[in-house]
Structure 1
Amino acid sequence: MIDYATLPTRDIERLSRNIRPGEWAVEAERPISTLLGSCVAVCLYDLALGLAGMNHFMLPQMKQGAHADEDVLLAGDACMEALLNAMLQRGAAKHRMRAKAFGGGAVIDTAVPGSLNVGKRNADFAHQWLEREGIPIIASDFLGPWSRKVLCVPRTGDAYCKRVTSNLISRESLRREEQAYADSLLNRPAQPGIKKIELF
């Protein structure tokens, strides 16, 4: 068994299981990581069990439509339920759960007409959902002009958040990809019979 408490975060990240938008993972040993722009990741953990999970969602809710079945886990309401249920199935107790949450960066220009102000909506949704479920947030890093790398260590419940600067990742590239996805949600025509998942 690896003692992650003794490792530098760079090594923890190298050993981690990475999740992308619309995904979630629950682990008892292996760390979980993700990279966020305007998306939000919520880490739930039960220290008594040494179990933690993380998700990564793009929007608070997904409107019903031709693509709803494909995109459902990109939405916070479905992604949060999936993560909570997976934790409960692995033996976690809701009254023992604690949350750490991150993201909602302003990587999409909210001054552009038609912008969704996605980051703030995601951060607000995470707060509201956790409050409604009675799960306390004990650490968070939301909003601001940053992308973020997030690591969660299940055994200890530790979470690491690094605000990412342009020398580590192209913020402009991430902003373009998120903007393109946001535009596609506003303008995407129904195409019967075509199954397509658009991730950034």
Structure 2
Amino acid sequence: MNLMQDPPAKPLTRITVMQGQARVSAGPRVEFSTVLGSCVATCLYDPEAELGGMNHFLLAEPQPGAPATGFDEHYGVYLMELLINEMLANGASKPRLRAHLYGGANMHAGMARIGSMNAEFARGFLARERIALVREDLGGNSARRVEMRPASGQVRCRTVANSMAPAASPAPRAPAASGDVELF
């Protein structure tokens, strides 16, 4: 007797979404993954376009009175807009978008409640943009690992050891150029 076997499935392409990043895909074998402490990740999905995306932001928005330096990829205000615009550019429709929010833990007692501020910002942003929030796992004091299959919109969130969460500080930037400029 000769048994028919299914061909082996193609391996999953795992993409880590780091602080300050947003990724979008419709690939059926793609999985986004991130680890969060006080940071927040937004997972967006358009069920009709079978397209999804994830961002990972460190801080909600610049403090009032902070010097305007253009955009900063660590702020949610920038990464939320980037994620939505990338989704729309790849065929999503804003009225169909569905959101999940994860993270926002307050990792260290006695310190600023950055996680709570990030969670509050993300909820408010989605409400202002009229994007349906269908699931959230925010707050507490535990780190989380989030995995998303963007083409299906499936998301898994689980708590992990706090030591797995990235440090809550932006990556160092190259120093700004300085010196005299001569115009011709």
Q: Which TM-score band applies after superposition, normalised by the shorter structure?
A: 0.7 to 0.9
Corresponding residue for residue 19 of structure 2: 21
Larger radius of gyration: 2
Structure 2 residues not aligned, in runs of 5+: 1-7, 179-184
How far apart, CA to CA, are the structure 2 residues paired with 1:105 and 1:150? 14
Corresponding residue for residue 130 of structure 1: 126
Give me the CA root mean square deviation. 2.5
- Structure-2 change in CA distance of 1:36 and 1:73 (3 Å): same
> How many angstroms does 1:82 deviate by?
0.3
Amino acid at match of 1:65: P
User: In the alignment, does 2:97 pair up with 1:101?
Assistant: no
Amino acid at match of 2:75: A
Contact 1:40/1:57 (CA < 8 Å) preserved in 2?
A: yes
Q: Tell me the alpha carbon deviations over residues 55-98 of structure 1, each in whole angstroms, 9 at most, x when there is no partner.
A: 000111024438x44x7111011100000000000010001100
Contact 2:108/2:141 (CA < 8 Å) preserved in 1?
A: no
The number of residue pairs the alignment matches comes to: 164
More helix by share: 1
| TM-score with structure 2 setting the length | 0.80
Corresponding residue for residue 87 of structure 1: 87
| TM-score with structure 1 setting the length | 0.74
Percent sequence identity is 34
Contact 2:43/2:101 (CA < 8 Å) preserved in 1?
A: yes
More strand by share: 2
> How many angstroms does 1:145 deviate by?
1.1
Amino acid at match of 1:85: N
Q: Which stretches of structure 1, 4 residues or more, deviate above 4 A after TM superposition?
A: none
- Structure-2 change in CA distance of 1:90 and 1:192 (3 Å): closer
